[in-house]
Amino acid sequence: MANKAAKTPSKSTPVKATSPTGQIRIGIGGWTFAPWRGVFYPDKLTQAKELSYAASKLTSIEINGTFYGSQKPESFRKWAGEVPDDFVFSLKGPRFATNRRVLAEAGESVQRFYDSGVLELGDKLGPVLWQFAPTKKFDPVDFGAFLELLPREIDDRALRHVVEVRHDSFCVPEFIALLRQFNTPVVFSEHATYPAIADVTGDFVYARLQKGEDSIKTAYAPKALDAWAKRLEDWAAGNEPADLPRVDAARPKKQPRDVFAYVIHEAKVRAPAGAMALIERVR
């Protein structure tokens, strides 16, 4: 999906119009979760209407099912038809591509993923998240070979990729330089054990907020939500939040960037409330 200039704010595009800025999209992981019924979803809402309801309250959803297996083209078309025109999905790339010893051999799995009907999402296709196991260590040659396998365009449609690494060996300037060479962002993971890497390495930013608590109605306390809203706005304006850890001293060129943020924590009952509270703060 090509990076676009900011639009006039609307109910489902929470962007600031006072200065050049990227779009901020905020959501959750998936939409089918039984404990959300009666908490996020109204009691009598049918399961068939859960996606359209979720999309009316959020501005993006991260699809997790694509990590575990192929989906059908008609599923992608159906999902695209159930959300607003300016709604965007992110998708997890298949584990068959990332959970392997030699990443350079993932070409077939990557190709099969894009042949499965992903492009049926049309303009609602956002970034593809390539998530690596916590045991996967940084090998610059092999990881670079993997990045070369990722298609940047198919049928004149620009594609976006983001990587999530979960081993401390990636916390080196060489990794950041490699990502910048391929204009590929790294996920900022707010997590108890995964490395937190806030270096901006592409033309958009992707954050996964995983420290929410179900004992808090909005997953995060108000002060924490205020802090995250400020960080998302800083990223969208082309700045870098001063309170997040970076690996490399080099700074990217300042430019507006789209931002994708997902409230995801283990029990996740309050994740939708946290995402909606963040959306209200960045309108």
Average pLDDT score, the chain: 93
Residue 141 covered by a domain: yes
Bridge partners, residue 104, by sequence: none
Query: Which position has the token pair 């901020």?
Result: 24
* Confidence band, pLDDT 50/70/90 cuts, at residue 266: confident
| Amino acid at position 15, single letter | V
Residue 28 covered by a domain: yes
Per-residue pLDDT of 133-145, as tens digits, reads: 999 999 999 999 9
Structure tokens at 191: 């997590």
Per-residue pLDDT of 59-118, as tens digits, reads: 999 999 999 999 999 999 999 999 999 999 999 999 999 999 999 999 999 999 999 999
The Cβ of residue 237 has, within 10 Å, a number of other Cβ atoms equal to 17
- Indicate whether this model's pTM tops 0.85: yes
Whether the Cβ atoms of residue 188 and residue 198 lie closer than 8 Å to each other = yes
Residue 85 covered by a domain: yes
Residue 246 covered by a domain: yes
Domain that holds residue 83: 24-282
Give the span between the Cα atoms of 113 and 116, in whole angstroms. 5
Is 156 in a helix, a strand, or coil? coil
The Cβ of residue 277 has, within 10 Å, a number of other Cβ atoms equal to 21
* CATH code for position 164: 3.20.20.410
Residue 4 covered by a domain: no
Whether the Cβ atoms of residue 138 and residue 175 lie closer than 8 Å to each other = yes
Whether the Cβ atoms of residue 122 and residue 82 lie closer than 8 Å to each other = no
Look at 9-18, 52-61, 111-120 and tell me which has the smallest mean pLDDT: 9-18
The Cβ of residue 141 has, within 10 Å, a number of other Cβ atoms equal to 9
Residue 17 covered by a domain: no
Look at 7-21, 128-142, 160-174 and tell me which has the smallest mean pLDDT: 7-21
Query: Which position has the token pair 């004149």?
Result: 156
Q: Which residues contact 72 (CB under 8 A, 6 or more apart)?
A: 116, 117
Give the span between the Cα atoms of 146 and 132, in whole angstroms. 12
Residue 13 covered by a domain: no
pLDDT of 124 over the 90 cut: yes
Residue 18 covered by a domain: no
Number of domains the chain contains: 1
User: Percentages helix, strand, coil for the chain, rounded to the nearest 5?
Assistant: 35, 20, 45
Integer-rounded Cα Rg, in Å, for the chain is 18
